[in-house]
Amino acid sequence: MSPDTHIPTSARRAAMVRRLETDSGLADPRLREAFLSVRREVLLPHAYVRVSGPGADPIDWRLLDGSHPDDREEWLELIHSDESILLQRDGERLDTLVRGPVTGGNMTSMSTYGPATVEALQAMRLEPGQTYLELGPGPGVSLALAAAVTGPGLAAGVERDGHMAAFAQHNLDRLGLGTAVIQGDALEGHPADGMFDRIHSGIGVPCVPPAWVEQLAPGGRLLTTLATRTPSWPGQLLVTRTKTGRLQAVLTGRPRGYRPMLGYRWLNAIGHRARIKEDPGTSRPTRLAPPPDDAYGFWLAAAYLVSGVVRDFQAETMTLVAPEDDSWVVAGPGDGTVRVHGPRDVWAELEDVHARWERAGRPDRYVVDLAELAGPQVVTSGAWTPELAWTLPPLAAVPRQAP
């Protein structure tokens, strides 16, 4: 057994906090203390590790059991890393898992990537005495951290999966934080219809569920990922309600976001890789150089206005695929050309959106109109600019998980 196994978990948490301070901007002193005090080993007693390489189907996994001496060091290192911890396949029961190899299944619950947790909870501006609602808390890591700041009995979660709700509640009870996880449809908010000072969604949604906004108290803040059909360009939505009750909603492009709600299907470029390699397409000139990855405001607009397109980040040069239209574009290596294939000229659509983005002033954030929750939620680049505007897809368009 490695001597590192005997490092106290408190020392591991301290090392994790130092890393989050340096690399991820952890600065809130209350949140820092929460990271130091919340015992992750209680909330994350096991973890799946992927064994298969990219594109494998079915996927091979290995389940680490934190109570087993042969797994303990790897498990402790993993749960105190910045990685997302994979916990549940296909909604399985969590009290009968067996360590070791397993094949197949899709992950249905996991903890949040560490830096994203820091970013989200700091954006919440948590303070003692606030009421806090976590929608889709999974194993409850973010919920526990928030509860450690707000105080006992003030933080609650709504989790759709009954097995995960029971698992999280059992572990949270061991931490003594006075936090309740209720099984229910997170899209409908808290079933008791209370008002909350802070609402955080751990699931991506195509638009804002009305119940979430209705349960946001005056002076409150609501944070969620707006999911599009592509995982390439997520958006983060921050909704605030003023003391007088007026809503303000700002959508910002981000390098990462939360996974979408169950039943939501992302587009995938993997099935086209071999064909693209064999035939990248017909070369044509372009004045648009591949936009930089950190032009988040542009890529967010492209996610909506160049619909049905996903980027293959593993390709050597920028490659965008419209899998349902059997179309793709491969950007040239800085020589003023692109190669296009299929009935859609995806690059021409991108050129058009980029020109509109330029005319709109290269915005990196957008305003979402939530004045009529029952009506369409319209996104604009601030003051009304026809150059760059779109309507969010309705929530009803997303398949809902069966009870």
Point out the residues that are catalytic: 109
Q: Are 152 and 122 in contact (CB under 8 A)?
A: no
Question: In the numeric block, which tokens belong to residue 331?
Answer: 């950007």
Buried/exposed code over 348-369 (b: 16+ C-beta within 10 A; e: otherwise):
ebbbebbebbeebeebebbbbb
Distance CA 258, CA 117 (A): 10
Q: Are 343 and 287 in contact (CB under 8 A)?
A: no
Distance CA 318, CA 330 (A): 6
Q: Is 236 helix (H, G, I), strand (E, B) or coil?
A: strand
Distance, CA of 341 to chain centre: 31
Distance CA 150, CA 278 (A): 56
Q: Are 352 and 293 in contact (CB under 8 A)?
A: no
Q: Is 21 helix (H, G, I), strand (E, B) or coil?
A: helix
In the β-sheet with 100-103, what is the strand arrangement from edge to edge?
A: 100-103, 60-65, 46-50, 86-89, 107-110
Distance CA 170, CA 167 (A): 5
